[in-house]
Structure 1
Amino acid sequence: MHSQAHDASAPSLLEALRAGTALLHVALEKRLPFFSEHLDADGYKRLIQAYYGFYRPMEAALYDSDLIPEGFDQVMRVKTPTLVTDLHALGLNEDAINALPRCSNLPPLDTPAACLGALYVLEGATLGGQVLRREMAQRLGLDAENGGAFLNVYGAETGRRWKDFLDYLGRLPLDTPAKQRGVDAARSTFSCFEQWLDGQQVLL
């Protein structure tokens, strides 16, 4: 990865990620069933199972790659354990969780920039989770103790951790081709996630 000091007019990595994923983000949000009047407790349970089926292999691929640039605290930001906690609260034992289907069609995470693009999607989802948490608490009576912890995975730290992540992205000097690899990976993460949820029949 090289400095892009020679092209000061180029968009930052964050600007490129926002612009490159905006439409995909909106499209997926419209298909998520959290605000559907038809979503019941069983539908929510299937949704969290599907999320687990994506996040577990996705986080494993990211964190096993050794390509994430220095400065990202994966211990603090890993989300799969919280999904496991929710699945236990929703009635699944360890064997049932281990038997859940897992996504094999993951975005290529073969460069540091690609890892950053994927992390942008996963970290950004924590912001939307705040709105979903309130909706699920009101509609289904869910909270951190009975199956809703993932929607509030960072709790009161959500805003600060998002800002810290944006600061982290801003410190990394990427040239234009690397930024494009980041955007491509972020777009692919959205697409793979939507295709996976679609295949699990949990989308509208």
Structure 2
Amino acid sequence: MHSQAHDIGAPPLLEALRTGTGLLHVALEKRLPFFSASLDVDWYRRLLQAYYGFYRPIESALYDSDLIPDGFDCVLRAKTPTLVSDLHALGLDDHGINALPRCIHLPDLDTPAACLGALYVLEGATLGGQVLRREMSLRLDVGADNGGAFLNVYGAQTGRRWKDFLDYLGRLPLDALAKQHAVNAARSTFSGFEQWLDSQKVLL
């Protein structure tokens, strides 16, 4: 879902998150159908519906928890509104979107560190969007105004917002136990997302 490139001088928390989730990240990427020859608009629509079914509850759980450390802009970084716009563009009305199934098996987001682990996965997922956006535009004629905005949710600000997020992580001092809570939550977010997409029958 995100780049595994290492930054020089990366903070220990970031290194722990990368190391702890690397294999899960690779496993999920292999099953996502964006580059499958069989992917069509219907499959793409079902895929975004499944994404919504995960992002809506996990973002709600995160942002309602009051546990995210200061410095993270929840309004700026919320992905669910863009998914809703894409689903509207793909033919769903509000009733249809509200009726979509939603994941109930979320990671335990009961500590600030756990919230950081989940946010790491959601923020990292934005990095691959540029490639996916181009692929969907070429193959399905899907762009920002007709169902593909989520794939490029930060647009030209993608790189800057990722760096800002890494800087944010680097400013937060966590002890060894808190760091492990962050890694566990990140791993649970990855595995939970894959299991959810699998249950919705949208993976390879």
What range is the shorter-chain TM-score in?
over 0.9
User: Which residue in the other structure is 1:84 paired with?
Assistant: 84
The match for 2:189 is 189
Instruction: Tell me the equivalent position of 2:8.
Output: none
Deviation of 1:128 (Å): 1.2
Deviation of 1:131 after TM superposition, in Å, equals 1.3
In the alignment, the residues of structure 2 paired with residue 36 and residue 58 of structure 1 have an alpha-carbon distance, to the nearest angstrom, of 27
Q: CA deviation at 1:122?
A: 0.1
Q: Equivalents in 2 of 1:163, 1:134: separation in Å?
A: 22
User: 1:49 aligned to 2:77?
Assistant: no
CA separation in 2, counterparts of 1:14 and 1:130? Answer: 23
**Structure 1 position 130, deviation (Å):** 1.6
Partner residue, 1:111:
111
In 2: Cα distance, 1:130 partner to 1:65 partner: 31
CA distance in 2, matches of 1:47, 1:31: 12
The 2-side partners of 1:25 and 1:77 are apart by 21
- In structure 2, C-alpha distance between the alignment counterparts of 1:130 and 1:57, rounded to whole Å: 25
CA apart distance, 1:38: 0.1
Q: Secondary structure at the match of 1:35?
A: coil
Cα deviation 1:174-200 (Å, max 9, x = unaligned): 001100000000000001000000000
Letter in 2 for 1:116: L
Q: Percent identity?
A: 80
Counting only pairs closer than 5 Å after superposition, residues 192-203 of structure 1 correspond to structure 2 as 192-203=192-203
Question: What SS does the corresponding residue of 1:178 show, helix, strand or coil?
Answer: helix
Counterpart CA distance in 2 for 1:112 and 1:121 is 15
SS of the equivalent of 1:33 reads: coil
TM-superposed CA distance for 1:78, in Å, is: 0.3
1:72 is the counterpart of 2:72: yes
What amino acid does structure 1 have at the position aligned with 2:77?
A: R
Deviations 1:3-34 (A, max 9, x none): xxxxxxxx710000000000000000000000
CA offsets, 1:46-96, max 9 Å, x none? 000000000000000000000000000111000000000000000000000
In 2, Cα distance between equivalents of 1:129 and 1:102: 23
Structure 1 Cα separation of the partners of residues 64 and 21 of structure 2: 25
Per the alignment, residue 17 of structure 1 pairs with 17
Superposition misfits of 4+ residues, deviation over 4 angstroms:
none
TM-score, normalised via structure 1 length: 0.94
TM-score, length basis structure 2: 0.94
Alignment of 1:150-189 (within 5 A): 150-189=150-189
Q: What is the CA–CA distance in structure 2 between the aligned matches of 1:16 and 1:54, rounded to whole Å?
A: 24
The amino acid that maps onto 1:19 is: T
CA distance in 2, matches of 1:94, 1:79: 17
* Residues 89-98 or 125-134, more deviating: 125-134
Q: Number of matched residues?
A: 194
Residue 144 (structure 1) aligned with residue 144 (structure 2): yes
CA distance in structure 1 between the partners assigned to 2:160 and 2:184 by the alignment: 26
Which secondary structure does the structure 2 equivalent of 1:34 belong to? Answer: coil
Distance (Å, rounded) in 2 between the aligned partners of 1:62 and 1:133: 27
* Whole-angstrom CA distance in 1 between matches of 2:99 and 2:60: 17
Partner of 1:131: 131
1:99-130 deviation digits (Å, cap 9, x = unpaired): 00000000000000000000000000000122
Q: Distance in 1 between matches of 2:164 and 2:127?
A: 13
